[in-house]
Structure 1
């Protein structure tokens, strides 16, 4: 059964709002994030204090057992009082490579659980601002490394025309590095190579390399990638073109990569090598290149038309050999029979003559 037209409208609208929320939650720019539709409009920004002014997001270095106090400023740009829910959530990287925050119905286990806002809601009068203080308490047993989450404001409204409740979210990213031994590490997993040739057995074809980048360390990492494809003993090596960098992956996250490589000769056996250089960014924005990771996988690049010609040639040669062998055998049988008849005739001697 297919959804009704009104159901499709609901899905489309919910999707559009989710995209808006995701963009707002990242809080990348220095300009305060805002949400507006009809008579509803508000913005959020970081408070100015000892941590800095006009920050685009929150960033902290805290040891296990430590705590941080900060605040978010909410401004009501609309004509009516605004009551907003306040909550915190863990962050994650979407399939599109963007940072998003869990919705309120999802359980947070890191920053979303460590951050406590002073109140679960805030009321902001028209044209006014209100501060939302919050405290981050890092557990004593927190694992060292990078964590990302956010503090959000949310407004639930009823769309009477569609008969649904719509959630609008607006928040600011929180990035935290918990003190201790930092072990940044990326791994390349599930490397495969597939080859697509042409009907011309001597023409070059295309190879498709797929693999997964897995952040197996405890630091948020991006990376630079390189892929090469070669024949036996490293001959006829071809390098892939520019490969888009993966998004910054949080500890434990993975990213699937597909790389086309053109102009690959069908050398029967192919070797695909993927090289990944992890990039670590510190609090000041400085990026450090770590030791590259490299892995190789093998695959087949069979020139099917040439193989078909070879198979046909082999069949013809084998058939000719068998035919010649059979002909020789038949000739030998006939010769043996002739000799045998001659011997028998000689042994019987000449026929007696009758008078």
Structure 2
């Protein structure tokens, strides 16, 4: 099963976060009225107008001041909690934001809001100023967001509306991707070819968002009887430092004792302008066993039959033959 590596607790998500999730990382946040009873949007200012999300290209050590608008679109008064959060890739391969309790290390830690709660009557809106303090040692790309939630809700699942915040810090641009931990598991068929399952881990080792197109092949010794996976999905867009475990099933693989899996990945980076470009393909291999159990079983049976026949023949040859004397009375 595909999955990202993360030491933090995954959070439950509802339709409230859908504007962030639909289509992946680069799709804008909320642009239409939410069925939650409130919505969030950007505020026009020195950093731009008619924005759907917040994106800044800055130098290390600077401060960025901006505001977020929260609007009551329902018929009842609401009290809305608001907090910053780091972004991460979920197990389904989509972008999401961590909860308040999960802690923060990047945007969630650098962004501070003027208030963490807003009360609104029906039809009212409020602008909440915020400031991002970029550390002097920061560099590369960071993705997080500002989350709003019903401050009075008692549900175990947090219903949220959010806006993405993306920072491009400094001139550093080091897209890099690694492939490792290539393993093969072989499931033999009663007769003939079986199924090889290839698993491996892709890691974003650079400082910008990256994904990868992949191809997987399995072959016997000296490359014989090679089989390739069919149309295979790309990885999701991974944030810097994230990893993703992939798995591919390949049918029709002959049990040739030793199998070699070759994973080829073409990294696709996303630059500050949102453009996508490829890097040079990388390859990693892994070796696994594919024992032809049916053939070995047949050989064992044949050998046992030959041994039985040989022993029987020798036993008959060693048995003395009795003779009768015709002159005996």
Using structure 1 for the length normalisation, give the TM-score: 0.78
- C-alpha deviation, 1:321, in angstroms: 5.0
- The alignment status of 1:223 with 2:212, answered yes or no, reads yes
- C-alpha deviation, 1:158, in angstroms: 4.6
Residues in 1 aligned to 2:158 and 2:277: alpha-carbon distance in whole angstroms: 40
How many residue pairs were aligned?
308
- C-alpha deviation, 1:312, in angstroms: 1.8
Residue of structure 1 in register with 2:126 after alignment: 130
Q: Secondary structure at the match of 1:285?
A: coil
CA contact (8 A) 1:24 1:33 kept: no
CA contact (8 A) 2:33 2:73 kept: no
Cα distance change on mapping 1:158 and 1:48 into 2, 3 Å = closer
Residue of structure 2 in register with 1:20 after alignment: 15
- The alignment status of 1:72 with 2:63, answered yes or no, reads no
Indicate which of 256, 276, 292 corresponds to 1:287: 276
Residue of structure 1 in register with 2:31 after alignment: 32
Cα distance change on mapping 1:228 and 1:165 into 2, 3 Å = closer
Residues in 1 aligned to 2:11 and 2:272: alpha-carbon distance in whole angstroms: 33
Q: Secondary structure at the match of 2:102?
A: coil
Deviations 1:74-131 (A, max 9, x none): 1211234433222101111111111111111121111001011122222334223222
User: More helix per residue: 1 or 2?
Assistant: 1
Residue of structure 2 in register with 1:110 after alignment: 106
Residues in 2 aligned to 1:237 and 1:16: alpha-carbon distance in whole angstroms: 42
Residues in 1 aligned to 2:135 and 2:315: alpha-carbon distance in whole angstroms: 88
Kindly indicate whether structure 1 or structure 2 has the higher relative contact order, using CA contacts under 8 Å at least 6 residues apart.
Answer: 2
Residue of structure 1 in register with 2:225 after alignment: 236
CA contact (8 A) 1:118 1:134 kept: yes
Residue of structure 2 in register with 1:182 after alignment: 173
Deviations 1:216-259 (A, max 9, x none): 22222111011011111111211111111111111221211111
- The alignment status of 1:315 with 2:304, answered yes or no, reads yes
Cα distance change on mapping 1:165 and 1:241 into 2, 3 Å = closer
- The alignment status of 1:98 with 2:94, answered yes or no, reads yes
Q: Secondary structure at the match of 2:13?
A: helix
Residue of structure 2 in register with 1:251 after alignment: 240
Q: Secondary structure at the match of 1:157?
A: coil
Q: What are structure 1's unaligned runs of at least 5 residues?
A: 1-14, 335-355
- The alignment status of 1:148 with 2:152, answered yes or no, reads no
Residues in 1 aligned to 2:233 and 2:45: alpha-carbon distance in whole angstroms: 38
Residue of structure 2 in register with 1:349 after alignment: none
Residues in 2 aligned to 1:251 and 1:320: alpha-carbon distance in whole angstroms: 68
Residue of structure 1 in register with 2:255 after alignment: 266
Q: Secondary structure at the match of 1:208?
A: strand
Q: Which structure has the greater CA radius of gyration?
A: 1
Indicate which of 160, 166, 186 corresponds to 1:195: 186
Q: Secondary structure at the match of 2:39?
A: strand
Q: Secondary structure at the match of 1:126?
A: coil
Map 1:328-343 → 2, pairs under 5 A: none
Residues in 2 aligned to 1:81 and 1:265: alpha-carbon distance in whole angstroms: 67
Q: Secondary structure at the match of 2:50?
A: coil
User: Alignment RMSD, CA only?
Assistant: 2.7
Cα distance change on mapping 1:33 and 1:135 into 2, 3 Å = farther
Using structure 2 for the length normalisation, give the TM-score: 0.84
Residues in 2 aligned to 1:24 and 1:64: alpha-carbon distance in whole angstroms: 30
Deviations 1:12-55 (A, max 9, x none): xxx99732343245583465265435xxx111112223433332
- C-alpha deviation, 1:287, in angstroms: 0.7
Indicate which of 141, 152, 164 corresponds to 1:173: 164
- C-alpha deviation, 1:165, in angstroms: 6.6
- C-alpha deviation, 1:290, in angstroms: 0.9
Indicate which of 162, 173, 195 corresponds to 1:206: 195
- C-alpha deviation, 1:327, in angstroms: 7.1
Cα distance change on mapping 1:57 and 1:317 into 2, 3 Å = same
Residue of structure 2 in register with 1:8 after alignment: none
Q: Secondary structure at the match of 1:241?
A: coil
Q: What are structure 2's unaligned runs of at least 5 residues?
A: 1-9, 321-329
Deviations 1:255-304 (A, max 9, x none): 11111112222222211111111110112221110122211111222222
